[in-house]
């Protein structure tokens, strides 16, 4: 277990706790916003990457990863807030039976949402640092520690397996089947 695992695990625990206390309907709204944000990011990341790159292959790939991450994060937040505004008055009754279902449902969906969110963000960070480290001709500094931390991470190896599952489930509905943020080859 590396230090990256500890950081990712802490974020996952925080997200799952927030989802547990928020409830099923709100977490489902956020998951819908994350999915719609993924659609928007998959549509537009190449356009922004081509505008901001200098034309080289490395610059274009770096910009694609960074722009996908930025667009996904921003549009997921915006679309989640929009969906939550429509579902604000809907909630399960706060009785003992329904309150437990609301919390357990939020917990279960929160695990999926947390894993998916951390998967995307960790791949963006990992691939951005890996490309910056390669562009700097592999110096022995903090970037090397981050790259080796991600490569030796137990959670990242689990995320690599889950990435295949997420992409197989989502790929029929994605505008482009290949998203550069999820590549392992740099």
* pLDDT tens track for 106-116: 899 999 889 88
pTM over 0.85: no
* pLDDT tens track for 111-138: 988 988 898 888 888 888 888 888 888 8
Q: Is 140 left (phi over 0), alpha (psi -120 to 50) or beta?
A: beta
Helix then strand then coil, in percent of the chain rounded to 5, is 80, 0, 20
How many whole angstroms from its chain centre is CA 53?
23
Q: What angle (nearest 5°) sits at the alpha carbon of residue 63, between those of residues 60 and 64? A: 85
Residue 64: strand, helix, or coil: helix
Residue 130: strand, helix, or coil: helix
User: Which has more confidence, 5 or 164?
Assistant: 5
Rounded Cα–Cα distance for residues 117 and 142 (Å): 24
Q: What pLDDT sits at residue 13?
A: 94
Rounded Cα–Cα distance for residues 67 and 61 (Å): 10
């Amino acid at each position: 277990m590396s230090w990256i695992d500890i950081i990712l695990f802490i974020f996952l625990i925080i997200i799952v706790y927030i989802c547990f206390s928020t409830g099923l309907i709100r977490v489902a709204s956020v998951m819908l916003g994350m999915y719609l944000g993924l659609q928007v990011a998959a549509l537009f990341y190449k356009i922004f990457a081509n505008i901001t790159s200098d034309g080289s292959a490395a610059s274009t790939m770096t910009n694609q990863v960074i722009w996908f991450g930025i667009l996904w994060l921003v549009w997921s937040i915006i679309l989640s807030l929009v969906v939550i505004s429509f579902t604000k008055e809907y909630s399960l009754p706060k009785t003992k039976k329904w309150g437990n279902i609301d919390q357990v449902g939020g917990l279960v969906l929160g695990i999926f949402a947390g894993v998916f969110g951390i998967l995307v963000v960790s791949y963006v960070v990992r691939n951005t640092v890996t490309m910056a480290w390669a562009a700097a001709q592999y110096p022995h500094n903090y970037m090397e520690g981050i790259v080796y931390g991600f490569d030796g991470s137990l959670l990242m190896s689990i995320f690599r397996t889950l990435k295949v599952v997420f992409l197989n489930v989502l790929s029929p509905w994605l505008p482009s089947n290949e998203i550069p943020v999820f590549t392992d080859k740099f």
